[in-house]
Each structure stands twice: as C-alpha cells, then as structure tokens.
Structure 1
Amino acid sequence: MTTRRHFLASAAAMAVGAATLTPPRLYAANPKIKWRMQTYAGPALAEHVIKPAVESFNRIAGDEMQIELYFADQLVPTSELFRALQKGTIDAVQSDDDSMASPTEVTVFGGYFPFASRYSLDVPVLFNDYGLGEIWDEEYSKVGVKHLSAGAWDPCHFATKEPIRSLDDLKGKRVFTFPTAGRFMSQFGVVPVALPWEDIEVAVQTGELDGIAWSGITEDYTVGWADVTNYFLTNNISGAWAGSFFANMDSYNKLPDRMKELLKVTMDSSHYYRQWWYWGGEARLRTEGQKMELTTIPDAEWAEVEKAARIFWDEIAEQSETKARVVKILKEYNEKMEKAGRPYRYT
C-alpha cells in the first residue's frame, strides 16, 4: 500500500510538472538581496496563503531585494524547516511552530492548540494585544531565529471517508493531523498519522488514512481533499490555525530598515487576505459545496471534548514557566470573551 501511495504521488507530481516547482516571479534579475522562503503549503494552497504577498513584496522592492518562494517540502521536509532556517540554508519560513518542530517552549501552541481560539480574529488579538507576540519573540530569539509575525488561518475540522456523528465514530480512525492536535484527540480513539503533505490525498485513496484533521472546508476543496473524502464534521478542534512568518536572525539583521518595514506590511496583507478568504470560504462551501456531506456530533457530547481540552491546557502549563504564562493568557482571554457574550462568544 505504501509503495502504491508513493508511486501514485510521484505520478501526480510528474503530471503537474514544472509548474509546481516554479516560485513566484522575480521582478529584478540581479537584486542586491535575495532571500529563499519555504512555506508549509503545497502549490494550490500557496496561491492564496502566501504567493500574492511575496509577489507584492517583489514588485515593490524591485532590484533592492527579491524573495524566492518554495512550496511544502521542496527544499527541505517541513519537519526540518526550523533547522534549515536556523542554519541559514533558507532565509524565511511560513509555518506553524508545531509542524516545523521548533525547539522552543511555545512550539506546542502552534498550529491547532485545542480550543485556544473560537474565531480567526482571536489569534491576532492574542498576539498583538494580549502579549503572545512578546513571548514568541523572546523564545525564538533564544535559538537564533526572528519571529516576524503571527496570524490566523482556517479552523480545524475532520474530513473523512466514513461519517462521524458521535465520539464513538472517531475510535480507530487513522487521521493526518498536527502533532499537538493528534496527541490531544488520541484520548478519543483517533490514531494520528504523520505523512508528507503531498502524499495525503493518495493515502486517503489507498485506505492508508481514514481522514484528515488539518484544515477547514476551504482547504479541503482547494487542495483536492474534498475529492477523496465524503464527509465534513462541523465540530472543530480549534477555531483557527495559528501560524507565523520566521526569518534567520542574521539574514534579518542585515536588512535595511526599509526592507524590514516592507516585510511587515506585506505579511500584514497576507494575514488580511486569509481572514476574509477563509471566513467567506468556510460558509460558502458548507452551504453551496457539492462534494462533502456535513455531519455533526451533538453539542452535549462534544462538550466532553471541550472539557478535556481544559485539562490538557493544565497539563501543558505544568511543564514550564513559559507554557504556564501562555496558558494563563489563553484562559484570561477566553474568560473575557465569554463574559463579553455575543458576538464574541455564543454559549
């Protein structure tokens, strides 16, 4: 089965051809500064989550600086992104801390930390207004990497071949997901599976995977997973993926102030694009999409998962002072949102 998966994945890659290997256009032939950036996203997803921002940067920067963008696993495997970034093999990364195995105290909170957010706007508020940005900057500075900016992506839902209508239906399901999300959901019988991103679609087709808990419905349609799964579970593990832009510290420190500011502006434009693209896409495809049937676990039963998440938070907080700081902020923030009521939280 594994051999067939790799054969089909290789065949698919050959069919796509050189297009998947082509970075965004460089608008200057011989720029004074050239960076290489790798994203966690494959080609279809990168068209939305990063490529427009990089092309905008290149148009504005001209011959002063250009960024070459590479897609998931093109230069190094996603799990090796941090080491490549730290060594300067690549200059910048777009990923979450969890997927790229950052050796920091905040890594566990990257990607989908269970129920840390309810909506995508929660993530930038937590980083920019509640102090998470300062903590991330401190932690990455210790290991020689510059944390540039954090933002939100889509919520985390299960896309499966068989319907999920109760917690019992999750038992034994082999699911591709993020390390922390998989660790948390394993208590409900989910079997987390780690595979290269580009192999996921074929792994579902061959039966190596029963489902995916890596995204919302927008990505399921965008990257082709809606073509190989039949059901979409409306309950989510978290309201938004927390991801970031990172840079090699030496590469970043060498930049002129103007280029640092331009990086910030174009990263902010990327965050803004994703806010509306995902928010609109999730609703549109739930109501208009024809490829996946929606299923739901009853609220009373799903409350068991939410309750377990708070226990999980406390277990994480006990591991270090820094993790305790982050959990304390998450608790205070969510309590405030619940107290604020609609539209911040619905109870």
Structure 2
Amino acid sequence: MTTRRKFLAGAAAAPAALATPALASGTIKWRMQTYAGPALAEHVVKPAIDMFNKIAGDRMQIELFYADQLVPTGELFQAMQRGTIDAVQSDDDSMASPTEVTVFGGYFPFASRYSLDVPVLFNQYGLNEIWDEEYSKVGVKHISAGAWDPCHFATKDPIRSLADLKGKRVFTFPTAGRFLSQFGVVPVTLPWEDIEVAMQTGELDGIAWSGITEDYTVGWADVTNYFLTNNISGAWAGSFFANQGSWEGIPEDLQTLFRVCCDQSHYYRQWWYWGGEANLRVNGTKMELTSIPDAEWAQVEEAALKFWDEVATESPTKAKVVEIIKKYNADMQKAGRPYRYG
C-alpha cells in the first residue's frame, strides 16, 4: 500500500512526466505491472524482464510490479492508457479493456484445447491484426499474445457432477464467470492477493482461475482439497501491452528486444505449464483429483457453443473473432490426431 500511495501521489503531481520516456542521453525508464503475484511472476514474466534489463543495460530499464501493487488489476488498462504505467502483462478481460475483443481474453469457454492453439490463432488465423486494430483505437500498443494454463476448478468440496457446482462461490475471470453462472456458479471478484485467505475464511468455495501448476505455485493447493480434471478452456490467453507513446518513444532495436523477450516468456510458459500440469496430476500430493463424466460434461461444451453465438451478436468485430475460433476448431477437428481426439 505504501508503494501504491507513492505511485498515486507521483502520478497526480506529474502525469505528463510519467508518460514521457527519459531523454536519449539518459536511461529510459519504464514501469510495468503484471496480473500475477510475486510467486507466479517468478515464472510468467520476471525471467523475461530480467533478460531485457540485462541486455538493454544503461540504455533502458523496466521496473516490474506485481498484482495490484501500483493499481488494482481492474484499473491496469486505464493506468496504461494514461501513461502512468508504461507496460502491462495481463489478459484483456481482467484489466477491463474498453475494446470489442476484451471478452476473448483470459478464458473464453472452450475456444482452445491446448496451449499451442492460442499462438496459432493469433499468428496464423488473424487475431493479431484484429487486436492491433482494436487497441490502436484506444492509444495502446498490443505487443504480443501467448498462452498460459488451462482453467480448472480447485475446491474445498469434491465436484463430481454439474449439480455439485450449484451455489459454489468461485473466484474466476469476468467472462468465465458469466458463462459458468448458468450452471449455478456464483462468480466472486476479489484482489488476487486475498484469494488464499478468502478460501480459509469460507468467503470462497473454490477457484476457477488456473490449472494445477498455479494452484501449487501460489499456495492455493494448500487451502483447497480437490482439483476437477474437466476444464472450461485449454489455455488462458494473455498479452503484453504498452502505452502507445511509451512504445513509440523507444528506439526500434529496443522495441525488437522487448518483443524477443516477450517471445521468450511465451516459450517458457509453454513447457513450464505443459509439464507442470501433468506432473502435478500424477505426483502432486495436496489435492485429490475428481472428474465429471464426459457425457454430463458435454452439456457444458454444448452451452459454450451457444455462448459463442450469443457473444457474436454483440458486434461485428466479436462476430468476426467467433467465426475465426469456429473455423480454427473445425480445422483442428478435421486434422485429427494429434490436434484433436474424438
């Protein structure tokens, strides 16, 4: 809180100065905030920023802040748009981006089955161009999108049927919560750092925010008893963003270096999550695995397709993204193994 007070005081006193890169003769300073808390950030972003700072040296340095450290995650976009934060790592949904693509950030139900689906959708199926256009309208540079872990329930009580979800107070993403509410889930919004305590006090019954790797990494496996193997998405979709003025204020070679470090971060997460999810299901000792039968879970998958169509009616841009997701998944299904099974 002390850091946040100092930050807000400085922002109020000199907002223009914060949005302006340092003079070319000095070291360019950026402030970047991630959606992740310290333990998770050690994997999902800190190695990349450390690498950037080491290579850039006295030309440019990025100071990294963690979840809610400077501003609440829900205010990240506004802070970046104003230039009081230079860069952000988050999904569109969590940081409440005022764009037509926000609903697809984080966990858009069943849009992906595997983590590799996300970069292919962005780099080969046209999502990069749509995201770039949408964020350019609001003064933000969309730099790079990548995948994180699948979305599973971690709960106090076992979930073995859809009926077991009814009435459960669950911390999850806005769009995921909107989708899951039809099955009786009660979405709860809290600061990331409060989740562990909320599970202990009974304010929450469960978490649908990550896969099992994060549950162990951030301590949630210590306050939950069960892990549901069914998931509502194969991979979280998140991005690196920057204030447009801050981005244009750094030389092209530093822009390239930042992109390369973002790509390194995406690659690190691909194998860290993929291996971690399997290893902890097999060898983890803190949570018991439960499953909802495939025939029953098919109701959730069918509801997702209706949800896609509902979202598509909201705007032409959303309709375009939904059509891309539909085409991609149809292509993967036709491609067969190893792209899709069954």
TM-score bracket for this pair, using the shorter chain length: over 0.9
Letter in 1 for 2:159: I
Provide, for residues 113-137 of structure 1, a one-character-per-residue CA deviation record: whole Å limited to 9, x for no partner. Answer: 0000000000000000000000000
Provide, for residues 103-157 of structure 1, a one-character-per-residue CA deviation record: whole Å limited to 9, x for no partner. Answer: 0000000000000000000000000000000000000000000000000000000
Aligned residue pairs, count: 319
Aligned mate of 2:266, from 262, 265, 271: 271
**SS of residue paired to 1:157:** strand
Residue 58 (1) aligns with residue 53 (2): yes
Residue 227 (1) aligns with residue 222 (2): yes
The corresponding residue for 1:137 is 132
Letter in 2 for 1:281: G
Superposition pairs of residues 85-164 of structure 1, within 5 angstroms = 85-164=80-159
Gaps of 5+ in 2: 2-24
Asked whether the 8 Å contact 1:316–1:323 carries over to 2, the reply is yes
**Using the alignment, how far apart are the partners of 1:169 and 1:105 within structure 2?**
34
The corresponding residue for 2:253 is 258
Letter in 2 for 1:252: W
Provide, for residues 65-110 of structure 1, a one-character-per-residue CA deviation record: whole Å limited to 9, x for no partner. Answer: 0000000000000000000000000000000000000000000000
CA RMSD between the two structures: 0.9
Pick closer, same or farther for the CA change 1:302–1:31 going to 2, 3 Å. farther
TM-score normalised by structure 2 residue count: 0.93
TM-score normalised by structure 1 residue count: 0.91
**SS of residue paired to 1:136:** helix
**Using the alignment, how far apart are the partners of 1:223 and 1:152 within structure 2?**
18
Residue 32 of structure 1: how far off its partner (Å): 1.8
Aligned mate of 1:309, from 298, 304, 310: 304
Q: Equivalent pairs: percent with the same residue? A: 81
**Using the alignment, how far apart are the partners of 2:329 and 2:65 within structure 1?**
36
Residue 31 of structure 1: how far off its partner (Å): 5.2
The corresponding residue for 1:43 is 38
Letter in 2 for 1:194: T
**Using the alignment, how far apart are the partners of 2:282 and 2:72 within structure 1?**
36
**Using the alignment, how far apart are the partners of 2:139 and 2:122 within structure 1?**
20
Superposition pairs of residues 4-83 of structure 1, within 5 angstroms = 32-83=27-78
**SS of residue paired to 1:89:** coil
Provide, for residues 216-256 of structure 1, a one-character-per-residue CA deviation record: whole Å limited to 9, x for no partner. Answer: 00000000000000000000010000000000000001110
Residue 323 of structure 1: how far off its partner (Å): 0.2
The corresponding residue for 2:194 is 199
**Using the alignment, how far apart are the partners of 2:183 and 2:318 within structure 1?**
24
Letter in 2 for 1:227: D
